[in-house]
């Protein structure tokens, strides 16, 4: 797909529903009693993979476009799937479902696309095995396909070496079926949507510093869930609005949970003109409208506890750093190497092709801003966040930018290019 520079971005936009929250609403709804009603559900391919997996386990799910009804059958109501469960491109689907399947009275097999079959699953196999689960990587390489023989699970206190909400959530979901209190301690707090939503479904769950603590549940109960806009998707419009001169964008009802909204802090540290309006808790998660105005940015350092709060936004933050004055350092972000693509390598290679001054480090990048970027052929590696990042850069780069596998944005934001075009004045 080909992209060209634009003069400015103006208007209002409603961002599709949060991907993490949409997945969890379907999963928790499926193992709750009664109907869960989900509004502003993300109709991206990843969340549709989650719906398809639970349908295959006998859960009736009505998908009416923007709203979804999940007719849950309780903690012990899932049926053995007849086929292999296909998680597509979705790390959240495969890792979180594993925690649930580990405790079911049946055997199941999980797989996904080529990218998913390369992503590390030992990070969930290890803690779940500690709880008594029987999970086998069928190719014996620590990756999917995974065979899960449902077992009786014990409680555990898992000290996670990584700050990962997928790992934490897999252990907590298994803990629902455990025989005592399950704890997960992380080096830094990762996104806490599981903790917030499980509490609403009736689980006994609390948080102390970087530890989540859960008691086994007798039953969860269906809920009405209003999904806020996904800040990880809004990030592309935040970046575009800040970078393209004379722009002003109002991004409506975006989730700004502090465990997710590190990008707002980084933008402000870089000198951005961002205003939060209409702050509310209507969805059970903090949300707000974000008013973005073009700003001149300067470099910053991004590291430590901030990293898990903006992990999916680091590609587009690296893009902003290219247009900022001075140097930006991203460190402690080795997790980027094992996302949908190796996002450090993919960003450095493609940014360099456009003329940026960017250096790959072991756990991040060093970007010296202010170089003039020109159009190039971008290899997105079929990674949705990479494709969207370079569509944003194309608004500012000279000439034509061509993005290979651009349609991969359907994973998390099916209408992304249309929304970007609508706001752009050519």
* Footprint of ligand S3P (CB under 6 A): 20, 92, 164-166, 169, 190-191, 311-312, 335
Cβ 365 to ligand S3P, closest distance in Å?
17
Least Cα distance to 57 among 33, 86, 36 occurs for: 86
β-strand pairing of 107-111 with 134-137: unpaired
Contact assessment for residue 409 and residue 385, using Cβ atoms and an 8 Å cutoff:
no
Output phi, psi for 107, to 5 deg: -100, 140
Which residues have a Cβ under 8 Å from the Cβ of 307 and sit 6 or more positions away? 163, 188, 262, 314, 332, 333, 335
Active site residue 18: no
Q: In angstroms, how far is the first alpha carbon of the chain from the final one? A: 17
State which residue, 92 or 401, has the beta carbon closest to ligand S3P: 92
Shortest CA distance to 324 belongs to which of 369, 378, 271? 369
Min separation Cβ 7 and ligand S3P, Å: 33
Is 317 in contact with 306 (CB distance < 8 Å)? no
Shortest CB 126 distance to ligand S3P, Å: 14
Which uninterrupted H or E stretch holds 31?
none
**Which residue, 226 or 311, is less far from ligand S3P as judged by CB?**
311
Among residues 91 and 145, whose Cβ is nearest to ligand S3P? Answer: 91
Place of tokens 């009416």: 64
Give the shortest CB-339-to-ligand S3P separation in angstroms.
Answer: 6
- Per the structure block, which two tokens stand in for 313? 């936004």
Q: Nearest distance from residue 392's CB to ligand S3P, in Å? A: 18
SS (H, E, C) 278-324: EEECCCCCCEEEEEEECCCCECCEECHHHHHHCHHHHHHHHHHHHCC
Residue among 262 and 375 whose Cβ is closer to ligand S3P? 262
Considering beta carbons, is residue 86 or 195 the nearer one to ligand S3P? 195
Q: Which of 230, 312, 383, 419 is catalytic?
A: 312
What amino acid positions are annotated as catalytic residues? 312
């Amino acid at each position: 797909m080909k992209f060209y520079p634009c003069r400015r971005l103006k208007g209002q936009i409603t961002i599709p529903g949060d991907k993490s929250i949409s997945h969890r609403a379907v999963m928790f709804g499926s193992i709750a009693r009664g109907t869960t009603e989900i509004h502003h559900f993300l109709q991206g391919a990843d969340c549709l993979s989650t719906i398809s997996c639970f349908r295959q386990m006998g859960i009736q799910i009505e998908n009416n476009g923007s709203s979804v009804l999940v007719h849950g059958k309780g903690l012990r109501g899932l049926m053995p799937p007849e086929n292999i469960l296909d998680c597509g491109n979705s790390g959240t689907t495969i890792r979180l479902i594993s925690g649930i399947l580990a405790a079911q009275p049946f055997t199941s097999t999980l797989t996904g696309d080529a990218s998913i079959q390369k992503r590390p699953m030992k990070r969930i196999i290890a803690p779940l095995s500690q709880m008594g689960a029987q999970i086998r990587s069928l190719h014996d390489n620590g990756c999917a396909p995974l065979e899960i023989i449902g077992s009786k699970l014990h409680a555990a206190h898992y000290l996670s070496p990584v700050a990962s909400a997928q790992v934490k959530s897999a252990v907590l979901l298994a803990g629902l079926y455990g025989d005592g209190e399950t704890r997960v301690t992380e080096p830094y707090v990762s996104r806490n949507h599981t903790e917030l939503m499980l509490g609403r479904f009736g689980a006994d769950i609390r948080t102390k510093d970087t530890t989540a603590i859960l008691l086994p549940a007798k039953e969860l109960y269906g809920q009405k869930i209003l999904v806020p806009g996904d800040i990880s998707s809004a990030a592309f419009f935040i970046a575009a609005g800040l970078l393209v001169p004379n722009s002003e964008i109002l991004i409506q009802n975006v989730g700004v949970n502090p465990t997710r909204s590190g990008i707002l802090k980084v933008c402000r540290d870089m000198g951005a003109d961002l205003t939060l309006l209409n702050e509310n808790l209507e969805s059970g998660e903090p949300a707000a409208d974000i008013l973005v105005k073009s700003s001149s940015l300067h470099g910053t350092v991004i590291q430590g506890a901030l990293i898990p709060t903006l992990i999916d936004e680091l590609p587009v933050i690296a893009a902003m750093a290219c247009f900022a004055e001075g140097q930006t350092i991203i460190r402690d972000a080795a997790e980027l190497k094992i996302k949908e693509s190796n996002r450090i390598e993919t960003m450095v290679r493609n940014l360099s092709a456009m003329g940026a001054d960017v250096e790959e480090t072991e756990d991040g990048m060093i970007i010296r801003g202010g170089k003039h970027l020109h159009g190039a052929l971008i290899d997105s590696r079929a990674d949705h966040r990479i494709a969207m990042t370079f569509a944003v850069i194309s608004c500012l780069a000279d000439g034509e930018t061509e993005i290979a596998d651009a349609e991969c944005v359907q994973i998390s934001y099916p209408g992304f290019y249309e929304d970007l075009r609508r706001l752009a004045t050519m």
